[in-house]
Structure 1
Amino acid sequence: MHRLLQWLRGHPWLADLPLYAYFLFPPLVQDRPDWRPVWVQALVLAGMVLPLLWRRRAPGLVAAVVLAAVAVHYAAEVQTYDRGRSEIAMAVVLYTLVVLGRRRAAAVTAAGVVVLDVWWACTWSAGTAISPWTAILGTLPLHITAWALGEFVRARRAVAAESQRRVLAEERSRIARELHDVVAHSVSVMVLQAEGAKLLAHRDPDRAAQALETIGGTGRGALGELRRLLGVLHGTEPHPGIGDLRDLAARSSVGRRPVRLEVRGDGGALPASAALQAYRIVQEGLTNVLKHAPPDAETFVLVEFGDQVRIEVVNSGGTGKPPALPSSGRGLAGVAQRVEMFGGTLHTGPTPDGGYRLAATLRAAS
């Protein structure tokens, strides 16, 4: 059924087939003494029906042609078919204009419909005991309903489009965050090791070779994580989680003081989405340490599980010179978005000893 509905949305003219069938049957064009010639009947019928095929492409022109055909029908008393069909034709073009947002054209069309209805009511009720107002009020609800239905459908489509736009924006933001976290950390390690290898190339070739091996290993790891990220986005690979924190800490310790990692409590029952966010927050905290803290700075990471997941990444000031790698400024913004997703809190700022502290909480129940 879903595929059928999708296919019908791609072929909207098929939904109009019942409408065309109503216009054409019954009655069809007939050669009767009290009716206009057949060619006149067919011409007026074509003026009402055929333009509706293009009502989505040229709604203003179609409305003008249909109203002209209805005016000829009333003026010449063609009597090709009952008046209900002409009223429905006008209601269809009015609905189309409102749905497509052509409000000015819809207002002009509505005025034309009222003029035609008043004209027909006055002509038809002449010489009878029926008031013209009775005839007019008999057709007015149809046109009001057509306008109201057009407004409803247009509003519903607008809400659906906005919802889809929001979903796409959130998906783009999520992918951007994931790519930033994956690439920024590995590239920071590679740049630091490359700088070290350049300094040690002549003084200590063995250590320079080790640094180059680290660069190669980090690059391969980054490629592997990118492949895993693509697999996650396609639903074919698992997300990184709490069990991967020790590997993350080890990679962040190359060429620096070892990162002290402490995990308290049991994170096994944590939802996969929360575990991923906790991992990415720690990853971003360690990336900031690599970018802005001296190599001799001490780094401590705490991940505590309980009613909430508490995460801290703290580094000391150190005595060396920070690498001062370029920063996009998106890392902490991404962390704030991740924390907000789980209704948590985020606190960041310098420490008294010249270091930096990142503290976040996530609601595990979320």
Structure 2
Amino acid sequence: MRFWLPAALAAGSLVFALATPAEPPYRDFDAAGLCIGLAGALCLAWIQSAPLPVLAAVCAILTGNAAAGYPVVFVQWLAWIALFGCFALHGDLTRRAAAAALAGLAVVAYVALDRGPTGASELTGIAMSFLIATVGGDAAHSRRARVVLEERARLARELHDALGHAVNVMVMQAAVGQRVFAENPAFGREALRHVETLGRGALVELDQLLKVLDPRSEAPVATDLAELAARVRAAGRELDLDDGGVDLPPGGDRALRRIVQEAVTNALRHSASGRIRVRLHQVGDEVRLEVTNEGTGFAEPLPGRGLANMRERARLEGGDLHAGPGLDGFTVRATLPARTRS
């Protein structure tokens, strides 16, 4: 809750007090009454950092306002806002129970000290306000928690897809270099050079993820796929790249590269030989990707993070993805919507 809200409420309390004279049995707003309203509004400036203490302070102000004989019309909303904040910012039952108890005690004190009559309509309004504050606060907390979980899942996908591929290729190149170093030291040194290059690239990827860089600043698809093919070939696997040229929006561009990267990584992980074919073409307003790990004896894929990440990336961009064994190997097929022209 930003400082503009307490400031607006403080200004509102001042305008309300000056523009609305109190009716008997309440006393007119004076300097003390204005100070009570302003203090309650300013308390909300700390609602995000200390919701329970703010609620306690506002409830005490509400009680003091009733004891002093001032109308409650404006001050009551400060208590409901503070109660809403407690439920929105706290998910544990203990703190929520404490917040509800504080609000309940404030209501009891208000009913006991208020100079005006408290009938069924007033009690119904209080009950409805209490319900709206608690239920609305709980809904806001649930939405906030869902957003946090979605963001964590997105970052987990990025770490898995970006760094997982680099580490797998580095392991393969290091193993190849170790096997041939005695007989072909030049090739072994070249493999080590590729390992160093991949390691530096992985550090760059990690730095980009931590800084949450704009996806639009990343390399185009064609350049990225060409570099991917070069890395895989340097690791001793044959990769056939057929890039027909596509036009994707930034989000789709990123999703496509990650899907290709993960599909190739899975091919390297689950087979030691055989050609990997990557086909990328655009047909009308649809971009079609096909990554095939040539070979036989592939089983149906087991549920795992890599496959789930690919499917989720395609889904979030409005496309779909299917993966499974075929006559000529294991194939990942994805479709994504192309960039729309205005």
TM-score (norm 1): 0.65
- Residue in 1 that maps onto 2:254: 276
The Cα shift of 1:280 comes to: 1.0
Distance in 2 (alpha carbons) for counterparts of 1:93 and 1:9: 11
Shift of 1:114: 5.4
Aligned twin of 1:189: 169
* Count of residues paired in the alignment: 306
Task: Name the counterpart of 1:171.
Answer: 151
Paired position in structure 2 for 1:126: none
Distance 1:172 1:310 in 2: 28
Query: C-alpha distance in 2, partners of 1:65/1:26?
Result: 17
Secondary structure of 1:220's counterpart equals: helix
User: Is the contact between residue 308 and residue 364 of structure 1 (CA under 8 Å) also seen in structure 2?
Assistant: yes
Q: Does residue 1:301 correspond to 2:275, yes or no?
A: no
| Structure 1 Cα separation of the partners of residues 175 and 278 of structure 2 | 26
Question: Counterpart in 2 of 1:218?
Answer: 198
How far apart are residue 158 of structure 1 and its match?
3.8
C-alpha distance in 1 between matches for 2:157 and 2:65: 59
Q: Does 1:202 align with 2:182?
A: yes
Tell me which of the two structures has the higher relative contact order, counting C-alpha pairs closer than 8 angstroms and 6 or more residues apart.
Answer: 2
TM superposition shift of 1:97: 7.9
- 1:286-365 matched pairs, under 5 angstroms: 286-295=264-273, 297-306=274-283, 307-317=285-295, 329-352=304-327, 355-364=329-338
1:235 aligns with 2:193: no
State whether residues 8 and 14 of structure 1, in contact with CA within 8 Å, keep that contact through their aligned partners in structure 2: no
Q: In 2, Cα distance between the equivalents of 1:64 and 1:253?
A: 72
State the AA in 2 paired with 1:193.
Q
Change (3 A) 1:149 1:240: farther
Determine the C-alpha separation between the residues in 2 that align with 1:98 and 1:25: 27
Q: CA deviation at 1:340?
A: 1.4
Contact 1:339–1:360 (CA under 8 A) maintained in structure 2: yes
Q: What secondary structure does 1:187 align onto?
A: helix
Residue 2 of structure 2 aligns to a residue whose secondary structure is: helix
- Secondary structure, in 3 states, of the residue corresponding to 2:234? coil
1:141–1:344: structure 2 CA closer, same or farther, 3 Å change rule?
Answer: same
Please give the residue correspondences for 1:1-366 in structure 2 after superposition, counting only pairs within 5 Å.
Answer: 6-8=2-4, 18=14, 26=28, 57=53, 85=70, 88=73, 91=76, 95=80, 99=84, 100=86, 102-103=99-100, 106=103, 110=107, 137=119, 141-229=121-209, 233-235=212-214, 238-244=217-223, 245-264=225-244, 266-268=245-247, 270-295=248-273, 297-306=274-283, 307-317=285-295, 329-352=304-327, 355-364=329-338
Q: Assess, with a 3 A threshold, how the Cα gap between structure 1 residues 286 and 168 changes in structure 2: closer, same or farther.
A: same
Go from structure 1 to structure 2 and tell me whether the alpha carbon gap of 1:176 and 1:9 turns closer, same or farther (over 3 Å shift). farther
Percent of paired sites with the same residue: 29
Q: Tell me the secondary structure at the aligned position of residue 256 of structure 1.
A: coil
Structure 1, residues 274-294: CA drift from partner, whole Å, max 9, x if none?
111111111111111121211
Residue identity matched to 2:337: R
**1:186 CA drift (Å):** 1.6
Distance 1:21 1:293, change over 3 A: same
Change (3 A) 1:69 1:241: closer
CA RMSD in angstroms comes to 4.4
Ranges in structure 2 where 5+ consecutive residues have no aligned partner: 45-51, 87-95, 298-302
Q: Report which of the two structures shows the higher radius of gyration computed on alpha carbons.
A: 1
Query: Do the aligned partners of 1:293 and 1:318 also contact (CA within 8 Å) in 2?
Result: no
Q: Distance in 2 between matches of 1:210 and 1:64?
A: 74
The one-letter amino acid paired with 2:168 is: S
